[in-house]
Amino acid sequence: MNDRVFGVFTLLLTFFYIFSAYIVEESFISDHVGPKIYPYIVSFFLISSSLFLFFKPDIKPKWPEFRKIIEILITAIILIMYAVFLPVIGFVFSTFFASSFISWRLGAKLSSAFTAGLIISITIFILFRKILGLSLATGPFGF
Amino acid sequence: METLNFLIDGFRVALTLENFTLALIGCILGTIFGALPGLGPANGVAILIPLSFSLGLSPASSMILLASVYYGAMYGGRISSILLNIPGDEPAMMTCLDGYPMTKKGRAGEALTLTGLASFFGAMFATIGLVLLAPQLVKVALLFGPVEYFALFVMAFATLGGVASKNQAKTVLASCLGLGIATIGVDHQTGVPRMSYEIIELYDGIDFLVVIVGLFAVSEVFVFIENTNLDKLNDEKKIIIGNIIPKLKTVKKIVPAMFRGTFLGFLSGILPGAGASLGSFVAYTFEKKISNKDDTFGKGDERGVAAPEAGNNAAAGGALVPMLALGVPGSGTTAVLLAMLMTLDVTPGPLLFKQNPDVVWGLIAALFIGNIVLLILNIPLVKYFSKILLIPSKYLMPVVAMVSFVGIYGISGSSFDLIVMVMFGLLGWMLRKLDIPLVPIIMGVILGEHMESNLRRAMTIHDGDWFMLISSNVSIVIWSITFVGFILPFFFRKKIKLTINKLQK
């Protein structure tokens, strides 16, 4: 993807944004401007800058190879799963898996990644939950 | 005299055991965040804000903690610039130019000491400048109404790209993305939901912290994963510091450079949208222009490290002036600090000095104390900090990611927020690739609501007459600066780009 494609993407996004502003149901008491005008103003600048990107793109960015992009997407999915499972299986377990995964993908051997994950999740739990008293997800086991 | 009394009160706030400890922790963490490549001041502050909320710190205490992190990062950035030729954060980029050559000559220790001194000098003067200038600016700001404020917000965005921006269109696009995100949720003036599509979680809008931590911290994880192979090079890095005590003659030699750097840095800090990166850039180029008689710059000239370091630290202090006095931040990190104040129900701007003198003066006093602490941390103890650079990112990044999650979850306890945060992380990674700046997005998200409400209040006062936006003299001046500030870079950018390219060679 280059600037040109991104310009088209933001242009489409802006149209969706304008539509979303257009369908806002105004309340019967309103100030002079109302809730729609300001989003329209923002949209004007969004459209102009998107068009500018489309017609005068910079040099193409260097995207990583396909395999890397997939790897990044998988990491994102793992992190989203982390968010979902956090309240279900508790902080220590989910953090152990997530941080081991990141550490592994950043080049650690599996065994040291798991060790790192274990140390990270337990340290954060003790530091933030036990010492600083933050509310972390507890899950069925209480940790 | 009045100022002095306030300052004494400020020291009373800053010297309580709790606040002093927080300043100390902030300085240490800040230096670490600054020193580690990839984690800048904005990152550091963003990760810690949720934590300071969850810990229930008072506004004054949180401000002291976070501003210490901010100052600390400015000091820390130089460490990896000098030792590894990798800027620890963006403002430290210029320090590589002469810092790394000094290391190659075996003078790393000296370079670290001199830059430590320069940082101290710049930051100290900037903090004094803040004390003198901010109350004056407050007097002016008290005359501002919604019309002027709206103009001021527009100015902050228009000049944000500033002379250092690569592409004005991208800055505008990024700002508007941020402003657009800020409109999601219930409209505060009329109470109708906007852009929320019946999704309950969106009624409150998207929390700026989720956006910040996502764009800055989570995206960093993806950047590291993308560059895993490069990390192997770092495994062989060795850090030799050597003698840290410079000759008196060398110290004398850099004094004028520190003065010039401090002055230029402070000025660029005060200007909206410029920030510390510009400060160090201007300081270095100017210093090179007037001191490079024997063609020693770029080959390890001491003045070439002192000037930009004094510059970026002075700019960091200078950037606090408009943030505290006007409530309009000039840089990404100060925007984040501003956002934190707003969330704690403290309104930044002229009234801050009246309503919450403890926050302002406690903060300023903490900055003075923090500076001295940082000088100690960064000269005699610099060896220990440089060891941190040896932690491989494969163990460091998981910690950063998990602490970010902990912070956000600690505030809201909502998985939805975490998912949105990961999405913003992906977006941030993509935008970085496309060279679209992230700071304007953050500023947009943080300032959007205020900007809109000022516009609408102005229209309510003036019965919907849009021409009233340029009615007062003050507003005309602000709009003119906005216009010039936006147009100028189109002419200067090429020149600056050339200079940067030349310097990097």
> What would the mean pLDDT of B461-465 be, rounded to a whole number?
85
B172 burial class (0-12, 13-18, 19+ CB within 10 angstroms)? Answer: buried
- Residue B502 pLDDT greater than 80, yes or no: no
Looking at residue B499, its pLDDT comes to 67
Q: Structure tokens of B69?
A: 């992190």
Higher pLDDT, B471 or B66: B66
B57 backbone φψ class: left, alpha, beta (φ>0; ψ -120 to 50): beta
pLDDT grade for A15, boundaries at 50, 70 and 90: very high
Q: Cα–Cα distance between B62 and B55 in angstroms, integer?
A: 10
- Please report the residues numbered 452 through 471 in chain B whose beta carbons come closer than 8 angstroms to any beta carbon of chain A: 452, 455-456, 459-460, 463-464
**Phi and psi (nearest 5°) for B300?**
105, 40
pLDDT at residue A96, rounded to an integer: 94
Q: Which of B281, B319, B327, B397 is nearest to B149 (CA)?
A: B327
Statement: residue A13 has pLDDT above 90: yes
Percentage of chain A surpassing pLDDT 70? Answer: 98
What's the residue count for chain B?
A: 505
| B192 in contact with A, Cβ within 8 Å | yes
- Chain B closest-CA separation from residue A101 CA (Å): 9
Joined together, the tokens standing for residue B280 give: 């160090």
pLDDT of residue B494: 66
Smallest CA-to-CA distance from B287 within B305, B267, B312 is with: B305
pLDDT at A72 over 90: yes
Indicate the pLDDT class of residue B230, thresholds 50, 70 and 90: low
Which residue of chain B is at minimal alpha-carbon distance from A65?
Answer: B226
- Specify which of B126-140, B287-301, B331-345 reaches the highest per-range mean pLDDT: B126-140
Note the pLDDT of residue B498.
67
Question: Residues of B311-324 as b/e, b for ≥16 C-beta within 10 angstroms?
Answer: bbbbbbbbbbbbbb
Q: Which residue in A has a C-alpha nearest to residue B415's C-alpha?
A: A83
ipTM comes to 0.94
CB contact under 8 A, B426 and A72: yes
d(CA B236, CA B403): 28
Whether residues B173 and A117 touch (CB distance < 8 A) is answered with no
Integer Cα distance of B348 and B330 in angstroms: 13
Using CA atoms, how far apart are residues B478 and B87, in angstroms rounded to an integer? Answer: 35
Contact B415 A86 (CB under 8 A): yes
Contact in structure between A91 and A134 (CB atoms under 8 Å): no
φ, ψ (nearest 5 deg) of residue A13: -60, -40
Give the pLDDT score at B126: 93
- What residues of A are in contact with residue B392 (Cβ under 8 Å)? 107
- Given an 8 Å threshold on Cβ–Cβ distance, is A72 in contact with B429? yes
Q: From A125, which residue of chain B is nearest by alpha-carbon distance? A: B406
Number of A/B CB contacts below 8 angstroms equals: 201
Residue A78 pLDDT: 95
Dump the DSSP string for B47-104.
HHHHHHHHTT--HHHHHHHHHHHHHHHHHHHHHHHHHHSS-SSGGGHHHHHHHHHHHH
B258-281 pLDDT, tens digit each: 999 999 999 888 876 666 777 888
pTM: 0.89
Alpha carbon distance B161, B174 (integer Å): 10
**Could you please report the per-residue DSSP string of B164-194?**
T-S-HHHHHHHHHHHHHHHT-EE-TTT--EE
CA distance B78 to A17: 42
- Residues A35, B190 contacting (CB under 8 angstroms): yes
Smallest CA–CA distance from A67 into chain B, residue: B226
pLDDT of residue B162: 59
Is residue B59 pLDDT above 80, yes or no?
yes
User: Predicted confidence band at B232 (pLDDT cuts at 50, 70, 90)?
Assistant: low
Residue of A nearest to B427 (CA): A76
CB contact under 8 A, A72 and B225: yes
Please answer whether residues A101 and A78 qualify as being in contact, where contact means their C-beta atoms are separated by less than 8 angstroms.
yes
Segment B76-81 shows an average pLDDT of 87
Sign of CA dihedral B481, B483, B486, B487: negative
Buried b (16+ CB within 10 A) or exposed e, B279-309: bbbbbbbbbbeebeeeebbbebbbbbbbbbb
Each residue's pLDDT tens digit, B403-414: 889 888 888 888
Q: For position A93, what pLDDT does the model report? A: 92
Q: Which of the 8 DSSP states describes residue A143?
A: -
What's the confidence (pLDDT) of residue B136? 86
> What are the two backbone dihedrals, phi and then psi, of residue A17, each rounded to the nearest 5 degrees?
-65, -45
Of A27, A121, A137, the CB nearest to B192: A27
Instruction: Give tens-digit pLDDT for B91-121.
Output: 788 888 888 888 888 888 888 899 999 999 9
pLDDT of residue A118: 95
Asked if B126 and B315 touch (Cβ cutoff 8 Å), the reply is yes
What's the pLDDT score for residue A50? Answer: 94
> Is B1 in the A-facing interface, judged by CB distances under 8 Å?
no
pLDDT of residue B163: 53
Question: Is pLDDT above 80 for B488?
Answer: no
Residue B234 to residue B473: CA distance in whole angstroms? 56
| Cross-chain CB nearest to A49 (options B176, B193, B221) | B176
Of A6, A73, A134, the CB nearest to B54: A134
Q: How confident is the model at residue B493 (pLDDT cuts 50, 70, 90)?
A: low
Measured between alpha carbons, how far apart are the two ends of chain A, in Å?
43
Query: What is the identity of the amino acid at B59?
Result: P
Q: Report chain B residues whose CB lies below 8 A from the CB of A29.
A: 190
Helix (H) or strand (E) holding B306: helix B302-326
- pLDDT level of residue B24 (50, 70, 90 thresholds): very high
pLDDT at B66 over 60: yes
Per-residue exposure over B332-362, b if at least 16 CB sit within 10 Å of its own CB, e if not? bbbbbbbbbbbbbebebbbebbeebebbbbb
Contact B93, B276 (CB under 8 A): no
Mean pLDDT value of segment A52-64: 86
Rounded mean pLDDT, B133-162 = 84
* Kind of pairing between the strands at B193-194 and B185-186: antiparallel
**% pLDDT > 90, chain A:** 52
What single string gives the DSSP state of each residue in B24-45? HHHHHHHHHHHHSTT--HHHHH
Nearest residue in chain A measured CA to CA from B424 = A76
Q: Which residues contact B19 (CB under 8 A, 6 or more apart)?
A: B13, B60, B61, B64, B362, B366
Burial degree of B224 (CB within 10 A; 0-12, 13-18, 19+)? buried
Query: Residues of A with CB below 8 A from B195's CB?
Result: 17, 20-21, 24, 39
Q: Where are the domains of chain A?
A: 3-55, 66-131
Closest to A83 (Cβ–Cβ): which among B192, B395, B415? B415
User: Could you read off the pLDDT of A97-140 as tens digits, one per residue?
Assistant: 999 999 999 888 899 999 999 999 999 999 888 887 777 777 77
Q: How confident is the model at residue B164 (pLDDT cuts 50, 70, 90)?
A: low
Task: With CB atoms and an 8 Å threshold, state whether B191 touches A17.
Answer: no
Report the C-alpha gap between A35 and A26 in whole angstroms: 7
pLDDT of residue A7: 92
State the pLDDT confidence band at B182, using cuts at 50, 70 and 90.
very high
Partner residue opposite A87 with nearest CB, options B232, B415, B425: B415
Dist CA B251 CA B268 (whole Å): 25
Selected residue with higher pLDDT from B500 and A41: A41
> CA B323 to CA B330: how far, in whole Å?
7
Residue B415 to residue A61, Cβ atoms within 8 A? no
Using the structure block, give the residue that is written with the tokens 């491989």. B392
pLDDT beyond 70 at B142 = yes
